Structure 1
């Protein structure tokens, strides 16, 4: 069982049900004949502290073998302390591992207007947690979307949330690292 704990980037914000990268993951798993159920516990607007508060009951209810952790973007948008984000992601990861689950940490980047120092420190949070916990890491969920020549066409009008057309790219960013953490068939 794969549990996705994320924010609007994983919760299909502004998309029709079934268009997001998480439902596309379910389809890819079926195509690859991987027997795995996916539970998407992502909530638009969620922060790492919100995810941490919700995680224990989700862990108890679903007993995942793999947790995909995609949180932190809203922490940055709200200017929350990076030490809090790092600590929350670390605690979620350790709880998942203590319950026997592998963890894939999905990173995000902030726009350059946050300043070079903050941008570098924010990006480092994800790799620090992954390294400290020996978890998998997707450095940048929006690679090939936010940095694409046609980036504007890949975002909704708010310029924050990717369109349905961008969702396969998000899945392609997650898939290589997720595949490494799947049980051998």
Structure 2
């Protein structure tokens, strides 16, 4: 009987240790579950803000589905406003960075600058500031380029697009050359205004973005 008492006595610390380890593991799991997902912020204009589209059918929402399908554990915040310019995006970026603390910022701005005749130098300055501020906030940046309609003239069209190429090179950020690649010459892919893509075009927009975005993301849960 005495031996049995000694053995039981010896088991008590071990049982307590196992219980403590189990509680620690549960606490760690709970803490991990409580950690917010890293955020991808899309800072854009009407091309990303679902202008004229049914809710949740734009390419940004399709990106959420794509991330889930490929098991990338990111949230997506659509900070796009129809009609926004690079000046507008620059003005509201500080609040966006402070509130969302994104891991990735996708910058899709500039088309409205061209439509409003904003000087190219102003557009470039604003885009550079957006990239600088995002990088200073420890976010990776993906820049989405844009071409303006040919009626602006080939010289202006080339100079406008060159702004994106120059910034991408200078700031060492990846560039999606043209969000509307593959649909720009297809009127059926645009709404009646011939400016904003239709619902059917949205998967194509995502296809233009995804190959350049994917390398910026951490390993998927399946790896």
TM-score > 0.5 by shorter chain: yes
Which secondary structure does the structure 2 equivalent of 1:103 belong to? strand
Give the RMSD, CA atoms, in angstroms: 0.6
- CA deviation profile, 1:70-123 (whole Å, cap 9, x unmatched): 000000000100011011000000100011000000011101110111000001
What is the distance in 1 between the residues matched to 2:182 and 2:203? 10
Residue pairs, 1:88-127, within 5 angstroms: 88-127=126-165
- Matched-pair contact (CA < 8 Å) for 2:72–2:219: no
**Structure with a larger share of its residues in helix:** 2
Unaligned runs of 5+ in 2: 1-38
Rg: which structure is higher? 2
What is the distance in 1 between the residues matched to 2:215 and 2:169? 16
- Match of residue 32 from structure 2: none
For these two proteins, the number of residue pairs brought into alignment is: 182
Higher RCO (Cα < 8 Å, 6 or more apart): 1
- Residue 183 in 1 paired to residue 218 in 2? yes
- CA deviation profile, 1:126-176 (whole Å, cap 9, x unmatched): 1111111111100000001103xxx11100000000000000000000000
- Match of residue 142 from structure 1: 180
- CA deviation profile, 1:18-58 (whole Å, cap 9, x unmatched): 11000000000000000000000000000000000000000
The one of 155, 160, 163 equivalent to 2:198 is 163
What is the TM-score when the length of structure 2 is the normalising length?
0.81
Which secondary structure does the structure 2 equivalent of 1:3 belong to? strand
- Match of residue 61 from structure 1: 99
What is the distance in 1 between the residues matched to 2:175 and 2:116? 24
Residue 184 (structure 1) shift:
2.6
